[in-house]
Amino acid sequence: MDRAQCCILVNSTPAYFYILPLFFKLLRRYAPKLRWDVILATEAPDHSICKQVSREYAVKIIVIPEESSGFLESRMIALKKIVHDYNYCLPLQEDFLLEMPMCLEAFENLMKYMDSSMCVVSARCMPCPGPSEQSVHAHILRVPDWKLITKETDPFGFTFQATLWKMKPLLHWYMRICKKLETICPKGVTDSVTRKRVELKENLAENAIGQDEFWTWTDEKDYEHIALIRAGPWPNAVYLSPFPYRPTAIVRGKLEPWALDLAKREGVTLNL
């Protein structure tokens, strides 16, 4: 697959740097033929762990200004820095720990399909949540298990779970949700604790306000979004996805016990 066509983008901050060696080790183990650029965006590029993953796992580092290191704004800034370099982006969080082989063929087929469509701009690859039973099949060549999601059938339009995006619409969405954040708690007059609460604890981008904004933006742009159909209700169904991981390794700021066991198995020391 053409290196310049797509990238993986991981935004991280020092509080969660401890998990980066495990994340990137698993990515390289289970996607050894991946030729996309893998990018880490952070406000602390000189941290020893950032230097380690750059050296050991061929991770590119891009710098986020400290004053723009908020959860949503940092993602927008990172995308602005790379928007002209790639056609597609797979944004991932640092606790999406790959535990099985990444299906590169599925991503190739997705990009071919999305290239052929003026409307489809994102493909949710982690069925958590998957599309509803009322959603319409997307009929993708050689990747039949996808559905079109709409605001009438699916309560979640946008999610931070692994989703392949066309690059420019992804940036425009983050610009849109960051603008919404500014209307709720303007940066110049709102303290950082309040902004963090709105972005993270209240989860602006995924809550009802964010979903309404997402579908309004989607309608304005005449965009469409597709999502992988979940194979079944059992927990391990999440592994039947192009990027198989357990959502997610860090819950409410704490590392899940299974992730600790995974790190031990992989011989990775986590500096918690």
111-145 residue pLDDT tens: 998 998 899 999 999 988 878 777 767 655 445 78
Decide if 112 contacts 88 (C-beta within 8 A): no
Decide if 99 contacts 29 (C-beta within 8 A): no
Q: Is residue 36 part of a domain?
A: yes
Q: Is residue 141 part of a domain?
A: yes
42: CATH: 3.90.550
Range of the domain at 106: 6-266
**Which residue from 129, 153, 132 is spatially nearest to 215, judged by alpha carbons?**
153
Look up the pTM and report it: 0.94
State yes or no: pLDDT of 100 exceeds 90: yes
| Range from 20-24, 143-147, 202-206 carrying the lowest mean pLDDT | 143-147
Convert the pLDDT of each residue in 212-223 to its tens digit. 999 999 999 999
State yes or no: pLDDT of 190 exceeds 90: yes
Query: Considering its fold, how many domains does the chain have in total?
Result: 1
Decide if 40 contacts 18 (C-beta within 8 A): no
Q: What is the 3-state secondary structure (H, E, C) of 14-58?
A: HHHHHHHHHHHHHHHHHCCCCCCEEEEEECCCCCHHHHHHHHHHC
Decide if 44 contacts 50 (C-beta within 8 A): yes
Residue with tokens 């954040």: 181
Convert the pLDDT of each residue in 25-44 to its tens digit. 999 999 999 999 999 999 99
Question: In sequence order, which residues have a C-beta less than 8 Å from that of residue 1 and are 6 or more positions away?
Answer: 35, 36, 104, 107, 108
Q: Is residue 86 part of a domain?
A: yes
d(CA 105, CA 46): 35
Q: Which two tokens stand for residue 130?
A: 């998957």
Q: Which two tokens stand for residue 188?
A: 């110049």
Output the pLDDT for position 3: 52
Among 69-78, 107-116, 148-157, 226-235, the range of highest mean pLDDT? 69-78
Q: Is residue 272 part of a domain?
A: no
Output the pLDDT for position 141: 44
Q: Is residue 157 part of a domain?
A: yes
d(CA 44, CA 187): 21
Q: Is residue 1 part of a domain?
A: no
Q: Is residue 168 part of a domain?
A: yes
State yes or no: pLDDT of 72 exceeds 60: yes
Q: Is residue 271 part of a domain?
A: no
d(CA 104, CA 7): 13
